[in-house]
Chain A
Amino acid sequence: DGGITQSPKYLFRKEGQNVTLSCEQNLNHDAMYWYRQDPGQGLRLIYYSQIVNDFQKGDIAEGYSVSREKKESFPLTVTSAQKNPTAFYLCASWTGGNVRNGYTFGSGTRLTVV
C-alpha cells in the first residue's frame, strides 16, 4: 500500500546533539511538508518542498534543516540551535498542483530532549 513512513517513532536527543528524522513516501507526490505539534496546539509548518532539489522555510524554521535530493525522501535535521526541540513531528505529502487533493500524513516521530 502507498503511504508515508516516518522513523523512528521515538527519538531521544541529548543537549547539543543534531538528530535527523526520516520521512519516506511511495505515493509519487511532488510536495512534502514538515510540521511540529506541541501539546494542546495545532500543527506549525517548519519546512516544505514542492519539487526535488528545492525547499522553503515555513513559519518556524529556525534550528531546523532539510534536504530533498529524491522525490521520495524529505529528512528533517533538528540542530543544536533549536532550543526547545521536544515535540511531535509530522511529515506530510500531497500530489501538488491543487491542494484540494488533501494531504497524507505519516504517523509521526516523538522527539524528547534528555
Chain B
Amino acid sequence: GENVEQHPSTLSVQEGDSAVIKCTYSDSASNYFPWYKQELGKGPQLIIDIRSNVGEKKDQRIAVTLNKTAKHFSLHITETQPEDSAVYFCAASTNTGRRALTFGSGTRLQVQP
C-alpha cells in the first residue's frame, strides 16, 4: 500500500519568514495530494490540494508543488503569521480501490512573533 513520509516533524520560524514542509510517497498510482492544518483538539481542515496533472498551485500565502517523477510534494507558506502555528499533515490517495487518504506523520509549525 501507499506510504507517505513527512519532514520535518517540528519547524520553528520567525514571523514573516517562509516555511517549507516536504513529503514523499511510494505509490506511483497516487494522483491526489491534499494538505491539512490541525489546531489543538480539532479535526484537520483542508488548506490546499493538488492533482497529479498539475505541478504547482498557489492560494494567497500558501503554495504546493508536486514532482511526480521524484514522488515528492511540498507545502510552502510565505509571510508566516502566529495564527499559522498548528500541525500540518500531507496526504496522498488514488482514485481507485478504497480511495482513502494515507497521511504523513505531521509537522508541528511554530511561528514566533
Contact = CB atoms under 8 A, between A and B. Distances in A.
B4, B94, B98, most chain A CB atoms within 10 A: B98
B89 A102 contact: no
Nearest to B45: A105
For chain B, the bracket of interface size reads 20 to 34
B95 A108 contact: no
A9 B75 CA distance: 30
Interface in B31-45: 32, 34, 36, 41-45
Contact of B93 (A35, A41, A99): A99
Interface string A20-57: 00000000000101010000111111001010000010
Contacts of B9: 40
Interface string A72-114: 0000000000000000001010000011101101111010000
Given A59-B1, A100-B32, A100-B95, A42 B104 contact: yes
B43 A98 contact: no
B81 to A, nearest CB: 23
A58 interface: yes
A33 B98 CA distance: 10
A107 B98 contact: no
B45 A108 contact: no
Interface of A: 4, 6, 31, 33, 35, 40-45, 48, 50, 56, 58-59, 90, 92, 98-100, 102-103, 105-108, 110
